[in-house]
Structure 1
Amino acid sequence: MSTPRFLDLPPGVAPQKIVTSQGTFAALEAQPVSGVIERWPALLVPGLTGSKEDFIAVLMTLAQSARRVVAVDLRGQYETPGPDDREAYTCAALGADVDALSQVIGGGEPVHLVGHSFGGLVAREAVIDGMTKFASFTLMSSGPAAIEGRRAGSGRKIMEEVPTLGLEHVWHQRFEPEALANDVPEEIMAFLRKRLLTNSPTGLARMAEQVLTMHDRIDELRQIEVPTLVLYGEHDDGWPPEAQSEMAARLGAECVVVPGAAHSPAVEAPETTAAALVRFWNEAETHSLDTRSSNM
């Protein structure tokens, strides 16, 4: 479970509603506090039980690299409503949402796409489907196929218990004890409870099923010519670090291991994570512009 370090929005960050052909999405938008927007924008996609707030600690730093940065709630997550239709929450359907969001946010420019955990599987669908030209793609604490280890067990409990016992039960039996064991501050506990209970039960259960059954699409992703970064914490308890390192090798992608972090490096090591993203984004843009110039 990721826990934002603070809930007060930093300078330059504001809540927004992003209207797309796929619906309206709740978002946090960051713009440079000083200077102007000179670089391509970025879209940040959260994980299964997460939300846009999981990126609060990195938003201001990312935006100060002279770009617009948008973190969203996927459909059915927290402040973005979703239908009761299970098929609206497959990775492919959510990937179409990411396409629509990217096209609006980019406004004709390529967008840097970041997917955290389950959000990485969703974002991968948008990259592979070819509907949108991305400036770069970052898999943050995500893997090549179905999630493994302790978090796989948590996912199975969500898939089985939410439809029959409800979100309140899952909060009291699973999320609250974990938060208490980690000494999560009271105000963040209140936020985590509100966030979980606001999720679409249908969506959460279906997304849990997706993260438990997703097949390997790395060979397909490798065929897409987009600069790719694999970034994860050295103590990740989702997909094993070795699996993510192997995935990066298969992709021919850059690999960054964040010291001291586990499954949520944007929360656990925000400055290191933001610095790695900014450097990668800037290099991807420079390479893209150099390629364009050489083709003229």
Structure 2
Amino acid sequence: MTRPTSSTSTPFPPPAGARAYPLRTARGEFAVVDSPVAAGVEPRGVALLLPGFTGSKEDFHLLHEPLAARGYRTVAVDGRGQNESDGPAEDESPYARAELALDVLAQAAALGTGLHLAGHSLGGQISRAAVLLDHSPFASFTLVASGPAEISESQKQRVKLLHDALAVMTMPQVWEAILAMGPPEEVGGPARGFGTPEQLHLRWLNHKPAQLLATGRQLCAEPNRVEELAAVPLPFHVLSGARDDTWPVTLLDEMAVRLGAHRSVIPGAEHSPNLDRPEATAAALADFWDDPAAHQDLSGRS
């Protein structure tokens, strides 16, 4: 496994014991937070964590410590054009779903094989595309609050509002509009994200408009690829909160059955269980990673 050799200055400090640095890959550099296994704990594996729409690697900050205590090194990444990872501001072509999937495979190649892959919301759908291209780098795949196809109608309307705003306003102007509206996290609202108000503001300004436009369209038009994914020989895990406005929990339940996946529902959590109930979420992840094959239910696969 590749180990970080240096840390970089960032306005988004990593948790205690973790390091923030640019991960060098064959497809460029990606900003990561890399948290090692806790001292004195036997290493059990490495996990690659991908954030959701308008999110960033910081959304996994509260998972690093409990997962380190369970023996897992965790690497959370900003995707292309997200927060501290660079990307074009206006050209949407590098944010095509296939391109973002290749980025994930490049990140995996830089870290080594046998990775536990986990993607939240949009990150889950990008991860799914990567797994469908090449599952060989991964030991398991967890979809965190990430559904089988397009997002709900209510969330589509919110994404459309964001797209309409980006067409006529600058990123700072859109932020001011967001603050005035107070929308949920999928529209970039300040209430859902890890950090101070100043950090959330900076994170928004760091996002590339082309990334938001391209991935927002993808969320609104994602095809159902559950049947394709079910044919992949990997252990699957579907994890969510007990309530979700982006993909109804019943839809996630059905997807888990189709995948023969282990299913975890975190009580008291909504669309971001990693933020709402991090200890319970970390426990569910580690329990699955400890022996993914033991949780696999092939009876649900077609």
By the TM > 0.5 criterion, same fold? yes
Per-residue deviation at 1:150?
Answer: 3.0
Which deviates further from its counterpart, 240-249 or 150-159? 150-159
Mapping of residues 169-188 of structure 1, within 5 Å: 169-175=173-179, 177-178=181-182, 188=196
Unpaired runs of 5+ residues, structure 2, are 1-11, 297-302
Aligned equivalents of 2:226, 2:245: Cα separation in 1: 21
Unpaired runs of 5+ residues, structure 1, are 1-6, 289-296
Aligned equivalents of 2:293, 2:25: Cα separation in 1: 25
Give 1:44's aligned amino acid: L
| Between structures 1 and 2, the one with greater helix share | 1
Q: Does 1:59 align with 2:64?
A: yes
Q: Does 1:90 align with 2:96?
A: yes
Query: Which one of 193, 216, 219 corresponds to residue 211 of structure 1?
Result: 219
Question: Given that residues 103 and 132 in structure 1 are in contact (C-alpha distance below 8 angstroms), is that contact kept between their aligned partners in structure 2?
Answer: no
Question: Given that residues 118 and 211 in structure 1 are in contact (C-alpha distance below 8 angstroms), is that contact kept between their aligned partners in structure 2?
Answer: yes
Q: Does 1:254 align with 2:258?
A: no
Question: What residue is the counterpart of 1:12 in the other structure?
Answer: 17
Per-residue deviation at 1:278?
Answer: 0.4
Q: Does 1:33 align with 2:38?
A: yes
- Using structure 2 for the length normalisation, give the TM-score: 0.86
Give 1:91's aligned amino acid: R
Q: Does 1:157 align with 2:161?
A: yes
Q: Does 1:189 align with 2:194?
A: no
Between the aligned residues of both structures, percent identity stands at 38
Moved over 6 A (4+): 179-185, 285-288
Residues 254, 135 of structure 1: alpha-carbon distance in 2 compared, 3 angstrom cutoff: same
> Can you list the C-alpha shifts for 1:263-282, whole angstroms capped at 9, x where unaligned?
10000000000000001001
Residues 194, 104 of structure 1: alpha-carbon distance in 2 compared, 3 angstrom cutoff: same
Give 2:137's aligned amino acid: K
Which deviates further from its counterpart, 247-256 or 129-138? 129-138
Question: What residue is the counterpart of 1:268 in the other structure?
Answer: 276
Which deviates further from its counterpart, 7-16 or 68-77? 7-16
Give 1:163's aligned amino acid: A
Question: Given that residues 190 and 201 in structure 2 are in contact (C-alpha distance below 8 angstroms), is that contact kept between their aligned partners in structure 1?
Answer: no
- Using structure 1 for the length normalisation, give the TM-score: 0.88
Per-residue deviation at 1:142?
Answer: 0.5
Mapping of residues 41-120 of structure 1, within 5 Å: 41-83=46-88, 84-106=90-112, 109-120=113-124
Question: Given that residues 147 and 255 in structure 2 are in contact (C-alpha distance below 8 angstroms), is that contact kept between their aligned partners in structure 1?
Answer: yes
1:170 is paired with a residue whose SS is helix
Aligned equivalents of 2:213, 2:127: Cα separation in 1: 19
Aligned equivalents of 1:135, 1:221: Cα separation in 2: 15
Which deviates further from its counterpart, 213-222 or 83-92? 83-92
Number of aligned residue pairs: 279
Which deviates further from its counterpart, 230-239 or 165-174? 165-174
Question: What residue is the counterpart of 2:8 in the other structure?
Answer: none
Per-residue deviation at 1:140?
Answer: 0.3
Question: Given that residues 48 and 208 in structure 1 are in contact (C-alpha distance below 8 angstroms), is that contact kept between their aligned partners in structure 2?
Answer: yes
Question: Given that residues 135 and 232 in structure 2 are in contact (C-alpha distance below 8 angstroms), is that contact kept between their aligned partners in structure 1?
Answer: no
Which deviates further from its counterpart, 245-254 or 272-281? 245-254
Residues 14, 177 of structure 1: alpha-carbon distance in 2 compared, 3 angstrom cutoff: farther
Q: Does 1:239 align with 2:247?
A: yes
